[in-house]
Amino acid sequence: MTATAEVSTGSRGNQPPVPDGAITVTVKVRRFNPEFDDEPRWDSFEIPALPSDRVLNLLHYVKWYLDGTLTFRRSCAHGICGSDAMRINGVNRLACKVLLKDLLASGGKPTTITIEPIKGLPVHKDLLVDMEPFFEAFKAVKPYLITYGNEPTRERVQSIADRERFDDTTKCILCAACTTSCPVYWTEGSYFGPAAIVNAHRFIFDSRDEGAEERLDILNDVDGVWRCRTTFNCTDACPRGIQVTKAIQEVKRALLFKRT
Amino acid sequence: MSELTLAKPRAPRRPAARRSNSELYSWLFMRISGVALVVLVLGHLFIMNILDGGVHRINFGFVAGRWASPFWQMWDLAMLWLAQIHGGNGLRTVINDYARKDATRFWLKVLLYVSMVLIIALGSYVIFTFDPNITD
């Protein structure tokens, strides 16, 4: 699947036969090739697709049969790995979880789907962004078990209720859809962002963990939870349905009532 | 690029946590002063614009009459201080979010704080030294 910049057709040769019931949709992709472009540009493709196709299928169609230079990330293609977060029609979604039938224009009008890279992270090429600043914020909140004293002989026991307390935030797949939907993060990249706070929440409220104080200190600072303006973009963007804004509010509440 | 262009996020090299609660207190202050201001400002608007003929009865004598009472002096003083600090703190977060260079951020904040101090000082001075028997 490697493609060089000179190739203008797809990487898999001829287009496959159009299946019955296919509709032609226009896919507008925001593209940027650092070797040729000074500025990002829009490219449009006409693609025959079934309503049951996912947006990722449309991107595959472009890459395989129309333009092999289109660059994007995807691994599992089933909403587990979190590689293919992108801005679809202006909102952050996983391309592998959005069905075409949910994007079709009403009344049989022609459908145009816009696809952009997630915002706030440096674009390497087309839909591929540099995830390092995102992972740096994730690492900064110490997203691992911190304990002091002797290790227990067998295991660290936890009640069902204690496990339930942070269950929602264990679902995070680090796709960056929430963080790059946050207006505060767009303008100020040093804000930890929703994903980092969600992963801090996962350990702060874990009864087995003893590092809550350190993490709360980190999130109490200028770039921490107090920057959140509760716009709920993150909750809307999360492909795992995590109540992100609620998790941030719970960290604020912990800071307000447990520490002061 | 035709639409809104956002620069790359600055490389976030964060200093170690300061163990300071200042951001927490400023957040909490916004909530409390916001609620207080709803009462103070709506009450003020009601008295000034609706009660007893509203804005048409306001003149020097009316202001002098109200400020003769310490209650209304305190009401106006609280409104002045809370509105200034509430608005100033809000602008501080806006500057923190949008100023891209440290120098810009610093000078915008200096401008903000100076204007806040000036307005609070001038307003408080007028409330406490208001002379109803002023001549010529």
- B96–A222: do the CB atoms touch at under 8 Å? yes
Of B1, B27, B97, the CB nearest to A184: B97
Give the predicted TM-score (pTM) of the model.
0.85
Complex ipTM more than 0.90, yes or no: no
d(CA A112, CA A105): 8
Q: What is the per-residue pLDDT for A260?
A: 45
Average pLDDT taken over every residue of chain B? 87
- B9–A255: do the CB atoms touch at under 8 Å? no
Which residue intervals of B20-129 are DSSP H helices?
22-49, 60-67, 70-98, 102-129
* Residue A239 near chain B (CB below 8 Å): no
Of A51-55, A89-93, B42-46, B63-67, where does mean pLDDT reach its minimum?
Answer: B63-67
- A39–B1: do the CB atoms touch at under 8 Å? yes
* Residue A114 near chain B (CB below 8 Å): no
Strand, coil or helix: A144: coil
The band of B9, judged by pLDDT with boundaries at 50, 70 and 90, is: low
What one-letter code names the amino acid at A191? Y
Percent of chain B with pLDDT over 90: 54
Bridge pairing between strands A23-31 and A112-116: parallel
- A187–B97: do the CB atoms touch at under 8 Å? yes
A189, A184, A202: which is closest to A247 by C-alpha? Answer: A202
pLDDT (tens place) for every residue of chain A, 260 residues total: 454 444 457 888 888 899 999 999 999 999 999 999 999 999 999 999 999 999 999 999 999 999 999 999 999 999 999 999 999 999 999 999 999 999 999 888 999 999 999 999 999 999 999 999 999 999 999 999 999 989 899 999 999 999 999 999 999 999 999 999 999 999 988 899 999 999 999 999 999 999 999 999 999 988 899 999 999 999 999 999 999 999 999 999 999 987 54
Residue of A nearest to B97 (CA): A188
The band of B132, judged by pLDDT with boundaries at 50, 70 and 90, is: confident
User: What six digits make up the tokens of A17?
Assistant: 């036969």
**Side-chain half-sphere of A41: how many Cα atoms within 13 Å?**
9
Q: What is the per-residue pLDDT for B15?
A: 63
* Residue A6 near chain B (CB below 8 Å): no
Task: Give the position of tokens 């202001």.
Answer: B63
